[in-house]
Amino acid sequence: MSEQEQNIDIIKRGYQAFADGDVETLMSLFDDNIEWVQPGESAISGTYHGKGELGEFLQRLGEKSPSITAHRFLADGDMVVVLSESTVGGETAHDVEVYTLRDGKTVRVEVCGDTAMMERQYGKKLTASSQ
């Protein structure tokens, strides 16, 4: 199996673990120093560093029982791009997730998705001017 096939397999295992609610398996696929970038201005948007922050993010994300369906996996070297759909609170949107892997672990994730949907579902991030 090529490196690209191995990387796709790792990412597929992560999607299955997320769907199954298997947090232990999901977290085992991430590097201890994982960086996760969630775009937009929703209450859960931001850049998360390390498994501790990522775990908190995933817990907050899970409060709305989202589902994610991966449709395509494209790999190039240490990068896997996933074309997917996410459903939260009855709304569905198309997403792209870009995973960077090193030594069999995901070291960075950048999500490109419907930020307006995330704001509707999770609320808008509070700023000094909105308080």
How high is the pLDDT of residue 131?
Answer: 52
Domains and CATH numbers, the chain: 3-113 (3.10.450.50)
Output DSSP code: residue 4: H
How high is the pLDDT of residue 1?
Answer: 85
Q: Residue 15 is inside which H or E element, if any?
A: helix 3-20
Instruction: Tell me the pTM.
Output: 0.93
CA 127 – CA 54 distance, rounded (Å): 22
Q: Which amino acid is at 101?
A: L
CA angle, 65 then 70 then 72, to 5°: 165
CA 61 – CA 31 distance, rounded (Å): 20
Each residue's pLDDT, cut to its tens digit, for the chain (131 residues) gives 899 999 999 999 999 999 999 999 999 999 999 999 999 999 999 999 999 999 999 999 999 999 999 999 999 999 999 999 999 999 999 999 999 999 999 999 999 999 999 999 999 987 665 55
Quickly list DSSP for 56-111.
HHHHHHHTT--EEEEEEEEEETTEEEEEEEEEETTEEEEEEEEEEEETTEEEEEEE
